[in-house]
Structure 1
Amino acid sequence: MLLSARLKAALLATASLTLLGAAPPPQPLGIGDPLFPHLGNPGYDVTAYDISLAYSGDNTAPLDAVTIIDARSTARLERINLDFAHGEASSVTVDGAPARFAPAGEDLVVTPAAPVPAGSPLRITVRHTSDPADPADGQGGWVRTRDGLAMANQADAAHRVFPCNDHPADKAAFTFRVTTPKRLTAVAAGLPAGKPVTRGAATTWTYRTAHPMATELAQVGIGDLTVVRREGPGGLPLRDVVPTADRKALEPWLSRTPGHLAWLQDRLGPYPFETYGLLVADAETGFALETQTLSLFEKNLFTHGGADRTGTESIMVHELAHQWFGDSVSPAAWSDLWISEAHATWYEALWAEEHGGPALEERMRRAHRDSDGWRAAGGPPARPKAPEPGEKISLFRPVVYDGSALVLYALRQEIGEAAFGRLQREWVREHRDANASTADFVTLASRTAGRDLSAFFQGWLYGERTPAVPGHPDWRSEAP
């Protein structure tokens, strides 16, 4: 093995510090995700987050916050790396004892008073700020609304809001405690844990999830909001959260969610969580987001004069389908994102076709025509190119949406509609509340079809050029 001059110098510096009795400087770590190599941290698994946020009423000012992380070590830890950026930590304790801490890149590196043995439970408490400044820098985290805040943490921005192990592979339970001026309302993922408590001029709202959640799916909304409750299929509690001034205008859209749920449950089985609803933000985001149990939408989607009923509802179905694909069954690595977006796009397109929109087959024919260009620009579905520097949202390219839904269309053509339907239901049943990979999907699809589909998926998921679609020899892909 040959060592570069830079690596030799680093090793010599580390050796010198060790000889002098000093630890090497803190370094950012990661779990080696192909697209986000510094995301997540090795050595521990988080079991629960308890996040307290104090909002002053000024959505440009940092929030005072306390994040408590319950975890179990998977290795001996002399240091504990947390993903955290865009805020300031003021103190850290590990199992109640003060710990040293220092920033390193987008990590907060914690040195406990004594090393943590492997296999030990541990509690990390971080007092910090959570800064909503610069929400338009393209990196995500807090979104400033007209009179408050909401969260948009996908793909890797939860650590811009609270310290965490910011990778979907480490799902955990969440409790949110949000204190606001009493004239405002706070909501979060999950269900209320008791009634709001008002002391003086402030009210504290507490919410708790009943199922594990990836950090990128966390949601907290604050503002002059109204919570609208109704019942969904099977008595499922639904709650939509909307700007109070727009409550009446939004009702025609909100009232359609029970029908969307019934339609998806007919195809996928029971809804996987304890509640669902829409958080409608008075902000210009340019996207909708499947935050768990409370999907985020911008108000203009519903209120602008040209709102198309079928098109708008298909977007609502897309985010709802994500509660199964992406939220309940989360990607094992970010290169597995195609599974989540392919299925959400699939059910969006299928719903639109059944409700007066474009035909699914025509949409897939166009996707096949454009697919080679999408692959050249963004990589094949299961081997996407990394996002552009400073533009994490550029990960969400056309190849991830219609380009990946085309994979499902080809698969249905290959194995038949009945086997395809069984695969969808079995996928969300077998991997509920867990993570699953592309290899897991190939394995289950092969088992469902009764034959090895590895060669089929190799071309469709990893090929630079798009294969021919079974049953459509006349379809042509246009080379870029």
Structure 2
Amino acid sequence: MKFYIKHLICFFYLSFITSVYSADIVHKSNIDFIHYKAEITPDFITKSIEGTVEITFSPYVDNLDHLSFSVGAKQVNAVYFLAQKIDFSVEGDLFIVQLPAPLKANKAYSVKIEYKVSETRGLKFYDDHLFTVYHTKNWLISHNKLSDKATFDLSIKHDLTTTAIGNGTLVARKKVSGTQLVSRWKQNTPIPLYTFGFAVGEFEKHSMGTSGVNISVLYRQQIKSNLTADLINKAFADTADMLSFFESKAGFSLEQDYAYVVVDGYMAQEASGFSLVGEKFVHTLLNDKNENWFIAHELAHEWWGNSITSANFSHFWLNEGLVVFMVAAYKQHLFGEEAYRDEIALALKRIQRAVKEKRVAPVAFRKVIEEQDINRTMAYSKGALVFYMLREKLGDKLFWQSLKRYSLTYKGKSVTTQDLKSIFEQVSQVDLTAFFTRWVYGQKIPTIDI
């Protein structure tokens, strides 16, 4: 979830209820957003998408009487509730939907919104392909609670000459005119909203021929990407091994196929069921087999981030720091000890640079922070270093047993730092309070001889 270069959701404004989970603070909203059904049409000429999204939700409290959305760069044309068109108003960045009657708790309702959005931070258009980027809120009417998960049904109208990919499973491809078809994707397992996404383009497809889960690579034609099926096969040759490695460490397998979409430039971003990776990274890898970090990093997010998701940005390191560490661990598995140490040394170098620039912060917080408050060097690099030190402290057997217990316990759930700490303590029978106080919640920078 990032433009993570070289190793490195319009949202609902809701009232929040603050509760304490052990030592960590999490926020619970008044609404459970259950399902999103979107029907959209991208336009390469105007660099925009237009369509509808139907959002199914259930209030946790009685008498909910309105919804407020961040309109951002989107133009809202109409809002429907119970099939009736209802009024909305725009006040600054907000448009406010006044519901016809107060809603009851624990009952499912839906609103349908017609909208259009031009190219913005959430959309990247090129002449032959387009794709969505983080945040989902920038291209789809949604909210931005990091841990909230929902199912997704996405229909994309696009040219016959192009291929579309979305979350979950392709359930239909229907020709609707002489030049266009509709591809429909369904994600039936709830996923974090920030992992909603799609891509459309003139892509070639290469299947990696792995057993169990099918892994494929979509890439642009050779004339534009300088990539061929043979080069793609060479660059992504280790994906089956990566899959096996991460499954063994997490204790569970992927439940659906996976794809890499190779796009123009530098890009490395996870979505659910696929990831976006940049052509420039692929060419770098073709010249140096050790530069496979971006393939491993985005795949690892299927377990740590997409399935097991940090409760909020205070615990973002559980998404990113763990995955940076897992890339290092995978390199150890594939290339040997020196490659592992090199990755940890690189993380330490980034941390030391942040110290010199006075950009030091805790890895995790006991208070809720917002995305803009994240210190990414600490979340990514020091977060990875924390897992390295935990492994050194506990030893391989207890460390990997703890990680597997953590992963299996919180599969499909949201987590806090305390959740991780508790599992590691239960498995290892080691009190980690002092360790987490110093290295995770504190700003102390470790000195490690790599």
- Short-chain TM bin: 0.7 to 0.9
Q: 1:93 aligns with which of 80, 84, 97?
A: 80
Secondary structure at the aligned position of 1:379 is classed as coil
Letter in 2 for 1:288: A
SS in 1 for 2:103: coil
Q: Give the secondary structure class of the aligned counterpart of 2:290.
A: helix
Contact 1:55 1:64 in 2 (8 A): yes
For the Cα contact (< 8 Å) 1:98–1:113, is it kept in 2?
A: no
TM-score when scaled to structure 1?
A: 0.80
Indicate yes or no: 2:151 matched with 1:165: no
For 1:236, give the aligned amino acid.
V
> Which whole-Å deviations, capped at 9, do the CAs of 1:298-355 have from their partners, x for residues lacking one?
11111359742111x2221111111110011111001211011122111211222344
After superposition, the CA RMSD in angstroms is 2.8
For 2:248, what is the secondary structure of its paired residue? helix
Correspondence for 1:180: 158
Q: Secondary structure at the match of 2:101?
A: coil
Alpha-carbon distance between aligned partners in 1 of 2:362 and 2:116, rounded to the nearest angstrom: 40
Which residue number corresponds to residue 314 of structure 2? 335
1:43 to 21, 26, 30: 30
1:410 alignment partner in structure 2? 389
SS at match of 1:263: helix
Structure-2 change in CA distance of 1:408 and 1:104 (3 Å): farther
Aligned counterpart, 2:113: 126
- Give, in whole Å, the separation in 2 of the partners of 1:32 and 1:247: 53
Distance 1:385-1:152 versus aligned 2 partners, 3 A rule: same
Distance in 2, Cα, partners of 1:303 & 1:466 = 35
Correspondent of 2:253 among 271, 290, 311: 271
- Equivalent residue, structure 2, for 1:426: 405
- Alpha carbons 1:189, 1:294 under 8 Å: kept: yes
How is 1:5-154 mapped onto 2 (pairs within 5 angstroms)? 28-29=13-14, 31=16, 42-58=29-45, 60-75=46-61, 76-104=63-91, 106-133=93-120, 140-153=121-134
Alignment partner, residue 379 of structure 2:
400
Letter in 2 for 1:147: D
Distance between the aligned counterparts of 1:178 and 1:302, measured in 2? 28
1:229 maps to which residue? 207
1:288 is aligned to 268
- Contact 1:85 / 1:160 at 8 angstroms: preserved in 2? yes
Name the counterpart of 2:434. 455
SS at match of 2:411: coil
Structure 2 unaligned segments of length 5 or more: list them: 1-11, 19-26
TM-score (norm 2): 0.85
- Alpha-carbon distance, 1:395 to partner: 4.1
- Higher Cα Rg: structure 1 or 2? 1
**Counterparts of 2:345 and 2:263, CA distance in 1:** 35
Q: Which of the pair has the greater relative contact order for Cα pairs under 8 Å at 6+ separation?
A: 2
**CA shift in 2, pair 1:385/1:121, >3 Å:** closer
SS in structure 1 at match of 2:326: helix
Unaligned residue ranges in structure 1 (runs of 5+): 1-26, 34-39, 134-139
Which of the residues 281, 284, 288 maps onto 1:308? 288
Do 2:47 and 2:125's aligned partners in 1 also have CA atoms closer than 8 Å? no
More strand by share: 2
1:404-446 deviation per Cα after TM superposition (whole angstroms, max 9, x unaligned): 1110111112222111101111122111111111111111111
C-alpha contact (below 8 Å) 2:39/2:154 kept by paired residues: yes
Distance 1:258 1:297, change over 3 A: same
Matched AA of 2:391: R
Match of 2:80, as an amino acid?
A: T
> What amino acid is the match of 1:325?
W
Task: Number of aligned residue pairs: give it.
Answer: 421
- Letter of the 2:242 partner, please give it: H
Per the alignment, residue 444 of structure 1 pairs with 423
